[in-house]
Structure 1
């Protein structure tokens, strides 16, 4: 693929990400995307084929990188600190928070994720499950090995809660804002450590009778 082709595709993805973050998937037209990206509709059709495929690719370009980072960190945790819960949680949490800090659209993508939770889009949910479900299953297996007393249902409830809390932290919606004089990196690192401790305590809590 030539540099011009890559640049065009990347501009379309960036424009789509920004508009989906602002207006949602249903509220954004391909014509708006092409206007923001300064390309014609033929370029979108050439690179993506349809709006649904464009939505999927907005997720893929971020999620592929984050998923690879998570799995690499998970393998290292299992090899170097087997049976320890906190390193497994760190492998799940830290790459996601690092992505949210990315100044090249990371913040917009977090809002896109929030849109995915809020809007009913069965095609997108199937795409995410098909492409990235294996990542969650690997983490579920690793966490189950650290808290063997938890049944499968309780484990998945708690993983859902962890994922929700992580998304909230990524979006920086919470009460704790970055103090003056504290770098964004330090603030995110502190958030990661607090979330890991919180999640570890929740996962180790006694199952509901």
Structure 2
């Protein structure tokens, strides 16, 4: 019984993610989601209860994994290269770009962009409540390397890093992947350049 339940829930999440990426949150109806997932509205209500909860769970499915990787990388950076800012930034940047490279994560990148563009107070509160501790862990680690920065300055710069990372994840900037360069190599170069850029910004 658990198998079919999981399969139905996963189909709903996948359909919702694709539709949110295409049409945004307000532009996607539950009827569209049920049609794409080939389920009835009762299945959505059973697994999620509301559209707001469905939006939140689309984020949780990806963010839990990425946040776990970030914190694991951060612990290693602090243990092995204490006092260096670049490994901390790599722990923040690289798991996100790895997710963007994953074929299952492509639509989610556009969903993140939608979250930036659309005003959704409920979603912002959910993300703050669930993942704010990740930001605070990185802020604490960076503060240890940058005692000259006030807390306000540090959080401004973290915000700018988050925006730049989202832009890099979406891969719609001026730098296109050259022919003959694989996707993984291109993402690695993007991570290197972003880490270098961010490090200079934090140290300024």
Normalised to the residue count of structure 2, the TM-score between the two structures is 0.99
Q: Displacement of 1:121 after TM fit?
A: 0.7
Q: Displacement of 1:2 after TM fit?
A: 1.2
Q: Displacement of 1:43 after TM fit?
A: 0.4
- 1:189 equivalenced with 2:185 (yes/no): no
The aligned length equals 204
Q: Which residue of 1 aligns with 2:135?
A: 136
Report SS of the residue matched to 1:187: helix
> What is the alpha-carbon distance in structure 2 between the residues aligned to residue 37 and residue 116 of structure 1?
22
> What is the alpha-carbon distance in structure 1 between the residues aligned to residue 33 and residue 152 of structure 2?
41
Q: Which residue of 1 aligns with 2:36?
A: 36
Q: Displacement of 1:57 after TM fit?
A: 0.1
- 1:160 equivalenced with 2:159 (yes/no): yes
- Cα RMSD (Å) of the superposition? 0.7
Q: Runs of at least 4 residues of structure 1 off by over 6 A?
A: none
| Structure-to-structure mapping, 1:17-166, within 5 angstroms | 17-104=17-104, 106-166=105-165
> What is the alpha-carbon distance in structure 1 between the residues aligned to residue 33 and residue 109 of structure 2?
19
- Post-superposition CA distance 1:176-198 (Å, at most 9, x none): 01111111000000000000000
Q: Displacement of 1:156 after TM fit?
A: 0.9
Q: Displacement of 1:152 after TM fit?
A: 1.1
Report SS of the residue matched to 1:114: helix
Q: Give ranges in structure 2 of 5+ residues lacking alignment.
A: none
Q: Which residue of 2 aligns with 1:7?
A: 7
- 1:170 equivalenced with 2:169 (yes/no): yes
- Post-superposition CA distance 1:158-181 (Å, at most 9, x none): 111100000000000110011111
Report SS of the residue matched to 1:21: helix
> What is the alpha-carbon distance in structure 2 between the residues aligned to residue 183 and residue 145 of structure 1?
36
Report SS of the residue matched to 2:26: coil
